[in-house]
Amino acid sequence: MCFVGKFLKQGKQQTFLFGFPYEDVVYVWKCFQPEACRLWSDSLAHMRKWMETQHTDPDMVEVLFKYLNVWRNFTLVEGTVPAYLQAAVDDQ
């Protein structure tokens, strides 16, 4: 069972799951309980659909989602960013 948000709803101030003294942003994105994983997946799916409705460049969408999952799962990046996207980042 994932306790994200449940302690705050009950008025308690601290949790000690996974060694974190309270529910903060880091706790939430590091939680791999099934409910948290489902929420992560659903949220990314919703964001992907929104980006498609905004006609976001498909390469940009793929790079963004690849890096979001790398960030959450503590894995290494595989592949490279398309050159034109890297140039846009470098020009910022």
Q: Are 9 and 1 in contact (CB under 8 A)?
A: no
18: phi > 0 → left, psi -120 to 50 → alpha, else beta; which?
Answer: left
Q: Which of 13-22, 36-45, 81-90 has the lowest mean pLDDT?
A: 13-22
Q: Sort 31 into a burial class: Cβ within 10 Å, 0-12 / 13-18 / 19+.
A: buried
Residues 3, 17 contacting (CB under 8 angstroms): yes
pLDDT reading at 2 higher than 60 = no
Distance of alpha carbon 4 from alpha carbon 14, whole angstroms = 11
Domain boundaries, the chain: 1-31, 33-79
When pLDDT is cut at 50, 70 and 90, the band that residue 61 belongs to is: very high
Q: To which residue do tokens 């948000």 refer?
A: 5
For residues 30-51, average pLDDT:
88
pTM > 0.85: no
